[in-house]
């Protein structure tokens, strides 16, 4: 013979709290299932004539890939991926500038934004995203790339270059810019096949690794927390090296001369410094 359990205060509390939570979880699971079943996408195509030599594209959220095209026009081709309800997208266009603002309307399921940007070859290009990855290739002229949250990958960049990130890794390949400035707040900075004559790299938290294929004239590297590794091309070239770290080891195995025109300045607060050929 069985009887009902008495409703103690503890059981009443469990019932009052547990029942709404169970209903919430059931509802959320159902909404998620419906959201993934109702996937959709839409396209956006924008173009503005470029007056002068500067093209500017800014995105508050989304991944961006940047390439060069014919002179005189700035283009953005975007794809919005979403569940159930199309995201809200707005933009402003003015001479040489496109700014895009996207907002997800459903708290679950899929909501992402991908943009393909083409800028006039040889001009000045400024491309930024507030949240998302940024990929650029084959840009010349003067190039400025930035993201607040996301990775940056740049390859075959030959113009004067400024790259900045706040949270994410920065990777450059085949960088031949005469002058390049790379800054990061949190994330690694990695450069390979670098032939820039002047390179400045600054990081707050993350490793810095740069492999040069040509002897540079001026290299300035600073870091607050992380290892620094510089690899210079083999050969007889000597370098005027200044390397200091507050907490870490320093290893230098390149030819050095106090009168060399090739200057290398490296400072670190916490981490090793390695300079090799």
Q: What global pTM score does this model have? A: 0.83
Helix (H, G, I), strand (E, B) or coil at 13: helix
Q: What does the domain layout of the chain look like in residue ranges?
A: 38-122, 151-277
61 confidence band (pLDDT: 50, 70, 90): confident
Q: Return the residue matching tokens 């200091």.
A: 244
User: According to the model, what pLDDT value does residue 25 have?
Assistant: 52
Whether the pLDDT of residue 110 is over 90: the answer is no
| pLDDT one-digit tens code per residue, 212-269 | 999 999 999 999 999 999 999 999 999 999 999 999 999 999 999 999 999 999 999 9
Gyration radius of the chain's alpha carbons: 26
> What pLDDT does residue 21 have?
53
Q: What are phi and psi of 257, to 5 degrees?
A: -150, 135
For residue 95, name the pLDDT band (cuts at 50, 70, 90).
confident
> Percent of the chain, pLDDT > 70?
83
User: What is the model's pLDDT at position 81?
Assistant: 78
**Does the pLDDT value for residue 134 go beyond 60?**
yes
The string of pLDDT tens digits covering residues 177-207 is 999 999 999 999 999 999 999 999 999 999 9
H or E stretch including 83?
strand 73-83
If residue 40 lies in a helix (H) or strand (E), which one and from where to where? Answer: strand 39-49
User: Which is nearest to 76 in space by CA: 51, 96, 46, 49?
Assistant: 46
Is 169 a residue whose pLDDT tops 90? Answer: yes
| Nearest-angstrom CA–CA distance, 223 and 243 | 12
| Average confidence score pLDDT of the chain | 86
């Amino acid at each position: 013979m069985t009887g009902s359990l008495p409703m103690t205060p503890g059981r009443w509390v469990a019932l009052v709290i547990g029942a709404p939570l169970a209903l919430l979880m059931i509802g959320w699971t159902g909404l998620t299932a419906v959201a993934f079943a109702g996937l959709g996408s839409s396209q956006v195509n924008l173009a503005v004539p470029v007056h002068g030599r500067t093209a500017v594209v800014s995105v508050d959220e989304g991944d961006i890939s940047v390439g060069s095209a014919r002179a005189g026009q700035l283009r953005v081709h975007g794809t919005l991926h979403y569940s159930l309800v199309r995201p809200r997208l707005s933009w402003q266009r003015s001479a040489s500038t496109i700014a895009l603002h996207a907002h997800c309307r459903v708290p679950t399921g899929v909501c992402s934004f991908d943009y393909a940007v083409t800028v006039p070859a040889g001009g000045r290009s400024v491309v930024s995203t507030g949240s998302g990855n940024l990929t650029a290739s084959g840009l010349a002229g003067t190039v400025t790339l930035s993201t607040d949250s996301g990775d940056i990958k740049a390859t075959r960049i030959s113009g004067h270059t400024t790259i900045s990130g706040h949270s994410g890794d920065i990777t450059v390949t085949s960088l031949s810019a005469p002058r390049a400035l790379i800054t990061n707040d949190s994330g690694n900075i990695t450069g390979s096949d670098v032939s820039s004559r002047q390179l400045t790299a600054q990081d707050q938290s993350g490793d810095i690794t740069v492999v040069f294929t040509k002897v540079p004239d001026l290299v300035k590297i600073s870091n607050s927390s992380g290892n620094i590794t510089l690899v210079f091309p083999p050969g007889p070239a000597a370098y005027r090296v200044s390397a200091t770290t507050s907490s870490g080891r320093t290893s230098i195995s390149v030819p050095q001369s106090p009168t060399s025109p090739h200057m290398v300045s490296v400072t670190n607060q916490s981490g090793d410094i390695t300079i090799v050929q």
